[in-house]
Structure 1
Amino acid sequence: MSKLLSGVLQFIRHIALYTLCSGCLVSAWAQPADEAGFRRLVVIDPVARKPMEAVYFYPSNMVGNTLSRFGPYHVSARNAVKIEPGRYPLIVISHGNAGSLWSHHDLATSLARQGNIVITLSHPGDNYKDQSGAGAASTIYGRPLQISATITAALNNPDLSQHIDADKIAFIGFSSGGETGLLLAGGRIDPSRYVIYCENHQVEAMCLAKGHIKNDRPALAPQSDPRIKAWVLMAPVSAPFSPESLKMLTKPTLIFTGDKDEELSWQQNAGELASTLPSKPQLRVIPGAGHFVFLAPCSSELRAATPALCVDSAGVDRTAVHSMIGEDISHFLNGVWQDNGA
């Protein structure tokens, strides 16, 4: 885990309120647009066989938007309001190392208001509360299994499944969540590439173990998920993947990266990935943007406690960047669904 994450983890451990309940603080949110609701989703981690933290966001028919507070996170959605009737694409978001189900809450609520069901989760062993699995096979190869289990849980949920168009399932992953997405698409990590990369990038967060994966679960192997029809990757960890396996990935892909990424080499990750994938992915390089620009814009509490995660370079407006990202993702996915005749 990167050193500059330590402050935010300590801060959130003291004040985060991650239990979804009817008593959570809700206040007015002045946003004259379609609304979003959210509910807890019951998902069992297929690795540890224990419940995971997960929520799904959805279009709501309520009048007047709301702001729900979970520790330092101000989420533009309201708990347990009625879903707008209809069938919607399903999008699952995978956070980065030491993240949580709230790391990309603004993207989730924005996409929900645009007519999608969006699921976010906290990956066991690799979240703000628990880093016990960082760099281990149980986490790296367990993450894609957790995403697949989340999709299955949604499709099997009697209240939710009736609103899901199962032919329109997409994945969004940030940083190590991008690595998760590539495993789900059928990519395979080459351990030797991981070690070689980290020999030249020792200061990067992904190289704290010098590229060595702790083999705590020898029988665990990543599995692709053919139900996913489109991938969106934000500052993805992709350098360790075998180029031969990446050349087999043909489904539509959209990649975002910042050209001032301080956590990993964007050229050797997102850049080389875009040139390797046969699907000719769209690559958006955001000028001046660092790694953490893809996290939700910070509240005043979070900004004061952890400016390294919240303050972007001069000339980079994170809110504007996220508006652009949301629009690009919607345009990309709408094109995929139309091309697929879905």
Structure 2
Amino acid sequence: MFVGVRQMTLQDAGNELSFPALVMYPTQQVPVSQGFGPYVMEVSLDAPIAPGQYPLVLVSHGSGGSHLLYRSITCHLARHGYIVAMIEHPGNNRVDNRLMGTVDNLQYRPRHLKLTTDYLYQDARFAPYLLPGNVAVIGHSMGGYAALALAGGNPWFPPEVFKPDYQGPAPSLVDVEHDARIKALVLLAPATVWFKPKAALSGVHVPILMLSAEHDPYTPAWHNDIVLEGVPDPARVDSRCVSNAGHFSFLSPFPLKIKQGGALPTTDPEGFDREQFHEQLKQEILAYLNLKLKTS
């Protein structure tokens, strides 16, 4: 199977916002090299979807990130029987980060994942090929927050309230949209502080694969502890720490020209092989989703 790609712009009419989405899917059409910004992928633009029905996987990037940063994972999933939708979160991406740290961002992120799901299940090009109500979310960093919120988590704001020396206003519950179609989560170095209050994750009943990084100053191990201590059944969480990895090690390997620039997202702890790790990571995620989505 090969990888087909369709680019689209989705609308959040209620908030007068739009956001780009890149959808990957199985196709029988032979791919060619296609550029997407600075990245090149072997895909077929607007190719016919291969016959069959497939689970849907949503991908939520980290704060200030991009929907193109998980290519090694998403191409692998599409090649092996998934329709994968990657959106770029408005106001919290690489070119427009004005909503970082706001309540709006906490509300918009899960809302836009749900709008994407609604759109694809209603779109004549994709709906016939989607398994009904069989959706997973992969979330990295702030994307992990979005995944948990969409799957039933109830976040609180502001997060600073949980610091011992906090003297500001009392926290308030953030009104977020949930989606019962979510059947599994993959959390990569998730940001979870908004779920620290007791019972904030009591509505999350789906199985979770959760990976943390050994050297992560942004979402250290206690973020994972919030999930393990907050969900109703921690036995449904498969959690492990990736040895010697950093927070950005979950991003797909960058082209050499970008790596030579030395930007923080391209760097890893000394001795960590990101290329080798992503060969293993994409297979681990595929095996997990096959188990949770295709055998349920």
TM-score normalised according to structure 2 size = 0.90
For 1:313, the aligned partner's letter is: P
Give the secondary structure class of the aligned counterpart of 1:230: strand
Which residue does the alignment assign to 2:199?
244
Task: State yes or no: 1:225 paired with 2:197.
Answer: no
Structure 2 CA distance for aligned equivalents of residues 47 and 102 of structure 1: 26
Structure 2 CA distance for aligned equivalents of residues 47 and 173 of structure 1: 24
Deviation at 1:271, TM superposition (A): 3.4
Residues 90 and 166 in structure 1, CA contact (< 8 A), matched pair in contact too: no
Give the secondary structure class of the aligned counterpart of 1:119: strand
Which residue does the alignment assign to 1:235?
189
Residues 103 and 157 in structure 2, CA contact (< 8 A), matched pair in contact too: no
Deviation at 1:323, TM superposition (A): 2.0
Residues 91 and 97 in structure 2, CA contact (< 8 A), matched pair in contact too: yes
Which residue does the alignment assign to 1:152?
118
Q: Which runs of 5+ in 2 are unaligned?
A: none
For 1:334, the aligned partner's letter is: N
Which residue does the alignment assign to 2:26?
59
Structure 1 CA distance for aligned equivalents of residues 115 and 147 of structure 2: 14
For 1:225, the aligned partner's letter is: D
Deviation at 1:309, TM superposition (A): 1.5
Which residue does the alignment assign to 1:319?
275
Structure 2 CA distance for aligned equivalents of residues 71 and 117 of structure 1: 22
Q: CA RMSD in A?
A: 2.6
Structure 2 CA distance for aligned equivalents of residues 102 and 198 of structure 1: 38
Q: Which runs of 5+ in 1 are unaligned?
A: 1-33, 201-209
Deviation at 1:291, TM superposition (A): 0.4
Task: State yes or no: 1:129 paired with 2:95.
Answer: yes
Structure 1 CA distance for aligned equivalents of residues 124 and 130 of structure 2: 11
Q: Equivalent residues in 2 for 1:28-43 (5 A)?
A: 34-43=1-10
Task: State yes or no: 1:282 paired with 2:238.
Answer: yes
| Greater alpha carbon shift after TM alignment, 186-195 vs 151-160 | 186-195
Residues 19 and 89 in structure 2, CA contact (< 8 A), matched pair in contact too: yes
For 1:238, the aligned partner's letter is: T
Question: Which of 71, 84, 109 is the equivalent residue of 2:50?
Answer: 84
Identity %: 27
Which residue does the alignment assign to 2:211?
256
Instruction: Kindly provide the CA deviation profile for residues 112-161 of structure 1, in whole angstroms up to 9, marking residues without a partner as x.
Output: 00110000011111111111111111111111000000000101110111
Deviation at 1:236, TM superposition (A): 0.5
| Greater alpha carbon shift after TM alignment, 298-307 vs 252-261 | 298-307
Give the secondary structure class of the aligned counterpart of 1:100: coil
Which residue does the alignment assign to 1:13?
none
Give the secondary structure class of the aligned counterpart of 1:155: helix
Residues 72 and 301 in structure 1, CA contact (< 8 A), matched pair in contact too: no
Question: Which of 282, 291, 295 is the equivalent residue of 1:335?
Answer: 291
TM-score normalised according to structure 1 size = 0.79
Aligned residue pairs, count: 293
Q: Equivalent residues in 2 for 1:168-187 (5 A)?
A: 168-187=134-153
| Greater alpha carbon shift after TM alignment, 100-109 vs 275-284 | 275-284
For 1:70, the aligned partner's letter is: F
For 1:244, the aligned partner's letter is: A
Deviation at 1:111, TM superposition (A): 0.6
Which residue does the alignment assign to 2:225?
271
